[in-house]
């Protein structure tokens, strides 16, 4: 059976990209990564892609006059590679509504909090400062408003006494690396439907 063609957008170290690469390397996994795009030439994620023999593109957002010009180049590269699903994996640019609409229901993100709590940056420090008992991560379809959209999977991580943002981040990251590939696998198997603002998983295990 043809595997779902995935493009991954990155800006940094790429540990989530690595978890997707590792999942796609497993026999029978229903998706394959056909392109990795970075807006940073020095992103370590690019090394990970090259090691896995995945084609890469670098587009510096600074080279474009507007966000939409940048997004049009991303879109063209993804289409040229016949990408069917885009995964954001530590991609530190806000995408335009134009791009988000063009890829509606074919664009997913991993965010390091239990959305809708703690949208945006510094999620772990804010969870600790708020006195939350539980932190976590969310894989969701992307909508134009940042860190919103139908939630596919979440994982909860308890906040321990003595946690700082780094300690908590490293425990949450373990869960990110588990649920992002799981969500991708579910989508690739055609098991995720979107109904309004909800994602529904069929035949949940």
Binding mask 148-187 for ligand GRF (x = CB under 6 A): ----------------------------x-----------
Residue 90: closest CA among 23, 31, 137: 137
Specify the stretch interacting with ligand GRF by CB under 6 A; choose among 7-15, 33-41, 78-86, 147-155.
7-15
Q: Which two tokens stand for residue 167?
A: 């300690």
Q: Phi/psi of residue 83, each to 5°?
A: -65, 135
The answer to whether residue 56 forms part of the interface with ligand GRF (CB under 6 A) is no
Give the residue with the Cβ less far from ligand GRF, 96 or 123.
Answer: 123
Q: Residues 13, 72, 93, 102: which binds ligand GRF (CB under 6 A)?
A: 13
* Residue with the CB atom nearest ligand GRF in the bound state: 90
Give the residue with the Cβ less far from ligand GRF, 78 or 179.
Answer: 179
CA dist., res. 165 & res. 173, Å (int)? 12
Q: In what order do the strands lie in the sheet with 31-38?
A: 56-58, 31-38, 4-10, 85-88, 107-111, 134-141, 151-158
Contact 121, 146 (CB under 8 A): no
User: Which residues have a catalytic role annotated?
Assistant: 111
Q: Residues 14, 149, 150, 181: which binds ligand GRF (CB under 6 A)?
A: 14
Binding mask 80-119 for ligand GRF (x = CB under 6 A): ---------xx-------------------xxx-------
- Between CA 12 and CA 103, with CA 176 as vertex, the angle to 5 degrees is 70
């Amino acid at each position: 059976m043809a595997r779902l063609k995935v493009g991954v957008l990155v800006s940094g170290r790429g540990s989530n990209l690595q978890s997707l690469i590792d999942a796609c390397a497993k026999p029978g996994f229903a998706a394959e990564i056909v392109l990795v795009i970075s807006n940073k030439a020095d992103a370590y994620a690019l090394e990970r892609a090259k090691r896995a023999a995945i084609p890469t593109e670098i587009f510096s957002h600074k080279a474009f006059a507007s966000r939409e010009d940048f997004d049009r180049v991303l879109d063209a590269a993804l289409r040229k590679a016949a990408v069917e699903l885009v995964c954001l994996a530590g991609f530190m640019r806000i995408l335009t509504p134009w791009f988000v609409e063009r890829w509606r229901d074919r664009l997913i993100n991993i965010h390091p909090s239990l959305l809708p709590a703690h949208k945006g940056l510094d999620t772990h420090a804010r969870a600790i400062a708020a006195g939350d008992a539980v932190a976590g991560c969310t894989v969701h379809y992307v909508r134009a408003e940042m860190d919103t959209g139908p939630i596919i999977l979440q994982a909860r991580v308890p906040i321990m006494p003595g946690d700082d943002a780094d300690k908590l981040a490293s425990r949450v990251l373990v869960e990110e690396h588990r649920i992002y590939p799981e969500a991708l696998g579910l989508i690739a198997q055609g098991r995720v439907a979107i109904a309004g603002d909800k994602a529904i998983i069929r035949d949940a295990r």
